[in-house]
């Protein structure tokens, strides 16, 4: 009988340690996600600034500068959205968007994301 009681205590201890480890893992994952989100916000703002600077330095005509500024504002709005919304809110927004969005829109968003990603990656390799 005593062996069973001892095994029960050991099992309970193991369960508590597992819960602690899972909680720590969750906190760690959340911190990494928060850090990545902060970096994404910085990167988006930096990309917007770089786009505007490049357009000015290259002497782009007003129409092109206007288009570049519009893209830069979009990047800044995205940065603001990321900074202000929780992961849960973003998940809900994505679910709503998926239900009401066409394939063409997804394709456009994907292409823009790839272009921005390449631009940001290019900034990292230069500096």
Residue-wise pLDDT for 82-112, tens only, equals 888 887 888 888 777 777 767 777 777 777 7
Tell whether 25 is covered by a domain.
no
Whole-number percent of the chain with pLDDT over 70: 86
Residue 18 lies in a domain: no
Average pLDDT over residues 108-124: 72
**Angle at CA of residue 82, ends 53 and 98, nearest 5°:** 110
Tell me whether residue 16 is in a domain: no
Does any domain span residue 42? Answer: yes
The larger pLDDT score, comparing residue 121 to residue 16, is at: 16
Q: What is the mean pLDDT of residues 71-83?
A: 90
Asked if the structure places residue 76 within a domain, the reply is: yes
CA distances from 1 to 4, 7, 8, 107 (A): 5, 10, 11, 66
The verdict on residue 111 lying in a domain is yes
Q: The domain containing residue 77 runs over which residues?
A: 38-126
How many Å apart are CA 60 and CA 69, to the nearest integer?
12
Looking at the domain assignment, is residue 11 inside a domain? no
Tell me whether residue 83 is in a domain: yes
Degrees, nearest 5: CA angle 30-124-84: 35
pTM of the full predicted structure?
0.58
- Higher-pLDDT residue of 57, 98: 57
Average pLDDT over residues 47-69: 90
Structural domains of the chain, count: 1
For residue 103, the Cα-to-chain-centroid distance in whole angstroms is: 22
């Amino acid at each position: 009988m005593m062996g069973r009681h001892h095994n029960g205590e050991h099992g309970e201890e193991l369960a508590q340690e597992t819960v602690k480890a899972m909680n720590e893992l969750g906190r760690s994952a959340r911190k990494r996600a928060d850090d990545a989100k902060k970096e994404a916000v910085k990167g988006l703002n930096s990309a917007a600034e770089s786009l505007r600077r490049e357009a000015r330095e290259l002497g782009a005509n007003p129409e092109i500068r206007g288009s570049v500024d519009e893209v830069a504002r979009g990047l800044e709005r995205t940065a603001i959205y990321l900074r202000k919304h929780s992961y849960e809110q973003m998940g809900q927004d994505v679910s709503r968007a998926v239900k009401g969005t066409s394939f063409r829109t997804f394709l456009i968003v994907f292409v823009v994301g790839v272009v921005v990603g390449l631009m940001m990656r290019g900034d990292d390799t230069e500096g």
